[in-house]
Amino acid sequence: MKALISVSDKTGIVEFAKELSSLGIEIISTGGTYKALKEAGISAMEISDLTGFPECLDGRVKTLHPKVHAGILAMRSKEEHMKQLKDLGVDTIDFVVVNLYPFKQTILKENVTRAECVENIDIGGPTMLRSAAKNYQDVTVVTDPADYEIVLNELKSNGKVSLDTKFYLMNKVFEHTANYDAMIFNYLKSERKDESFPNALTLTYEKVQEMRYGENPHQKAALYKEIGKCEGSLTIAKQLNGKELSFNNINDTNGALELLKEFDEPTVVACKHGNPCGVGSGKDIYEAWSKAFSADKTSIFGGIVTVNREVTLKMAEEMKDIFLEVIVAPSFEKEALKVLETKKNLRLLELPSITVKQAPESYDIKKINGGIIVQTIDSKLLDDYKVVTDRKPTDKELEDMLFGLKVVKFAKSNGIVLAKDKQTIGIGPGQVNRIWAVNQCVEHSKELIGDGVTKGAVLASDAFFPFDDCVKAAHEAGITAIVQPGGSLRDQDSIDKCNEYGMTMIFTGMRHFRH
């Protein structure tokens, strides 16, 4: 029996080849792999000795030869195939051990050139893998070093590799080559700065972890990450404390992180079930924390907190007395970390690149039965705004309107946010009509903070008002300013009602539905 070994990732290959050789399997190898095996004292034949043709074109051509592929693809059960091999003087190859040029590592290098990336597109490797996988009944194909032990155990126990294992290894080949080709396609698309949606969408992600369960205990779940640096992403955060993140932790924390990135000044976002429950900005991070916490001391229980400055000892001493699931920050003061680590289940995540935003052309993907719907992320807040009422907003009102707009962009639709002094004082997410969302905000602000808190506040809406009832409810609560996209056939009704009450309203022309 013969084994052809040609690997870029040489993890465990010397040990594996040594075991194969000890079982009487003849080794054929190429380039750097051949050199590594010879240096380890393993007997091996160089590929050019098998083919009778030298490697050429800087190694671009070495395994693309009939003696290689006929030896792999011949069906041993077909007499005609075996006769042809004999007539051609070709021996069968029974094991193909190949992994590919490091394309991923190449594209992730700083200042890498297109030429270097293209040169690291493997040709011979995928061809051998696909040939061996197609003939899986007769050929054992291994592309993952983690499978070396499985193959050796079966060879030692049974003298052969089982058909089930060969079929499993075949499956892994096409997982590997599909991932490899998808990486190449996505790199080339990026190089061309092509933002169009391709006719065939092929995405590839790498598994980070499997989870105990999904949204509910009866659902299976796993976390995958994009291939890239993923700056600002939860997938590269360093966990400093606490239990493994759950499916819901990850989903909720991601939403809180993306909202946090809307702010440059010291800001804290508290989130629950995918919706913000308290957001505050301040002159320093402690003031921001105090605002976010006091905005909704009830809903933060069991919630997520994201922070865009270092967590201080003073914050930590207050946070430890609250049941929180996750805290994410760029860093933690040493003493603050000690305090929070006393809560053994509290997940503490350090993410230095927490403020880095996704590229505007990034995909937002939702699964539907039988397909997916894909869009670019909602990367904008507004292009401009227009004051549509007689009264113009004060500087303070305008500041709070912008604050509220950032928050409502991340509340489930229909969404309404009340804001005052760079603090959320009421959040109404996910209602089936807009007036219910307004009423919910007002009621919650009274319940959670106190009567009169809405006086002088602003209201932000993710979409237009279909009627003037929202303006009426806002006026009754003492709200003085409204920001919304506009675009309703009844916009003028809302404008007239604002003018009647002496309120100010601006239109942004940009809707922020979030479903």
pLDDT digits (tens, 9 = 90+) for 4-38: 999 988 889 999 999 998 998 999 988 888 888 88
Q: What is the pLDDT of residues 59-116, one digit of tens each?
A: 677 777 888 888 898 888 888 898 888 888 888 899 999 988 888 888 888 888 988 8
> Residue 449 — very low, low, confident or very high, per pLDDT cuts 50/70/90?
confident
Residue 417 and residue 332 share a domain: no
Which pLDDT score, from 0 to 100, does residue 233 have?
Answer: 93
Q: What is the pLDDT of residues 403-422, one digit of tens each?
A: 999 999 999 999 999 999 99
Which pLDDT score, from 0 to 100, does residue 405 have?
Answer: 97
Give the residue from 191, 209, 241 where a domain finishes. 191
Burial of 41 (0-12, 13-18, 19+ CB in 10 A): exposed
Asked if residue 365 belongs to a domain, the reply is no
- CATH value at residue 473: 3.40.140.20
The residue-averaged pLDDT of 314-319 equals 96
Report how far residue 459's alpha carbon sits from residue 484's, in angstroms, rounded to the nearest whole number.
8
Q: What is the pLDDT of residues 353-378, one digit of tens each?
A: 999 999 888 899 999 999 999 998 99
Question: What average pLDDT is seen over the chain?
Answer: 92
Residue in 10, 18, 81, 134 annotated catalytic: 134
Which pLDDT score, from 0 to 100, does residue 456 have?
Answer: 95
Q: Across-strand partners of 61?
A: 56
Which pLDDT score, from 0 to 100, does residue 364 have?
Answer: 92
pLDDT at 56 over 80: no
Block residue for tokens 């808190």: 453
Which of left, alpha, beta for 58 (phi over 0: left; psi -120 to 50: alpha)? left
Report how far residue 515's alpha carbon sits from residue 512's, in angstroms, rounded to the nearest whole number.
10
pLDDT at 433 over 80: yes
Which pLDDT score, from 0 to 100, does residue 317 have?
Answer: 96
Do 57 and 34 contact (CB within 8 A), yes or no?
no
Active site residue 176: no
Give the residue from 329, 350, 371 where a domain finishes. 350
Which pLDDT score, from 0 to 100, does residue 45 have?
Answer: 85
The sign of the CA dihedral 74, 77, 80, 83 is positive
Q: Across-strand partners of 272?
A: 275
Do 406 and 434 contact (CB within 8 A), yes or no?
no
The residue-averaged pLDDT of 237-262 equals 95
Active site residue 220: no
pLDDT at 258 over 90: yes
At position 195, the amino acid (one-letter code) is: E
Give the residue from 131, 160, 191 where a domain finishes. 191
Residue 400 and residue 317 share a domain: no
Residue 144 and residue 250 share a domain: no
pLDDT at 57 over 80: no
Do 67 and 90 contact (CB within 8 A), yes or no?
yes
Block residue for tokens 């011949």: 74
> Residue 276 — very low, low, confident or very high, per pLDDT cuts 50/70/90?
very high
Residue 26 and residue 162 share a domain: yes
- H-type helices in 146-299, by residue range? 148-158, 163-191, 247-260, 285-295
pLDDT at 325 over 90: yes
- Encoded tokens for 29: 């190898």
The residue-averaged pLDDT of 457-476 equals 96
Residue 474 and residue 404 share a domain: yes
State residue 207 phi and psi, 5-degree precision. -70, 130
Asked if residue 46 belongs to a domain, the reply is yes
Cβ atoms within 10 Å of 3's Cβ, excluding its own: 24
pLDDT at 235 over 90: yes
pLDDT at 490 over 80: yes
Which pLDDT score, from 0 to 100, does residue 437 have?
Answer: 93
Residue 467 and residue 328 share a domain: no
Asked if residue 279 belongs to a domain, the reply is yes
Determine the distance from the C-alpha atom of residue 336 to the mean position of all C-alpha atoms in its chain, rounded to a whole number: 29
Residue 264 and residue 158 share a domain: no
Residue 158 and residue 57 share a domain: yes
Which pLDDT score, from 0 to 100, does residue 212 have?
Answer: 92
Residue 70 and residue 9 share a domain: yes
Angle between helices 163-191 and 148-158 in degrees, nearest 10: 160
**pTM above 0.75?**
yes
pLDDT at 288 over 80: yes
- Encoded tokens for 365: 């993907």
Determine the distance from the C-alpha atom of residue 287 to the mean position of all C-alpha atoms in its chain, rounded to a whole number: 31
Report how far residue 504's alpha carbon sits from residue 483's, in angstroms, rounded to the nearest whole number.
9
For residue 320, give its domain range. 231-350
Which pLDDT score, from 0 to 100, does residue 190 have?
Answer: 86
Residue in 65, 81, 225, 273 annotated catalytic: 273
Asked if residue 357 belongs to a domain, the reply is no
Do 315 and 327 contact (CB within 8 A), yes or no?
no
* First-to-last C-alpha distance (Å) of the chain: 59
Residue 14 and residue 94 share a domain: yes
Asked if residue 112 belongs to a domain, the reply is yes
Asked if residue 379 belongs to a domain, the reply is no
Cβ atoms within 10 Å of 275's Cβ, excluding its own: 22
For the chain, the farthest-separated pair of C-alpha atoms sits apart, in whole angstroms, at 98
Q: What is the pLDDT of residues 337-356, one digit of tens each?
A: 999 999 999 999 999 999 99
Pairing of β 26-29 and β 2-7:
parallel
Report how far residue 307's alpha carbon sits from residue 311's, in angstroms, rounded to the nearest whole number.
7
Do 380 and 406 contact (CB within 8 A), yes or no?
no
Block residue for tokens 């293209």: 118
Residue 236 and residue 154 share a domain: no
Query: Could you tell me what percent of the chain has a pLDDT over 70?
Result: 99
Asked if residue 205 belongs to a domain, the reply is no
Count how many domains the chain has.
3
Which pLDDT score, from 0 to 100, does residue 332 have?
Answer: 97
> Residue 439 — very low, low, confident or very high, per pLDDT cuts 50/70/90?
very high
Q: What is the pLDDT of residues 124-148, one digit of tens each?
A: 888 889 999 999 999 999 999 999 9
| Residue of higher predicted confidence among 445 and 306 | 306
Asked if residue 398 belongs to a domain, the reply is yes
Report how far residue 446's alpha carbon sits from residue 434's, in angstroms, rounded to the nearest whole number.
19
**From start to end of 162-311, where are the E strands?**
205-210, 222-226, 238-241, 267-272, 275-281, 303-307
Determine the distance from the C-alpha atom of residue 13 to the mean position of all C-alpha atoms in its chain, rounded to a whole number: 32
Which pLDDT score, from 0 to 100, does residue 25 have?
Answer: 92
What HEC string does 48-72 produce?
A: HHHHCCCCECCCCECCCCHHHHHHH
Residue 414, preceding bond cis, omega within 30 degrees? yes
- CATH value at residue 94: 3.40.50.1380
Which pLDDT score, from 0 to 100, does residue 464 have?
Answer: 96
Residue 159 and residue 57 share a domain: yes
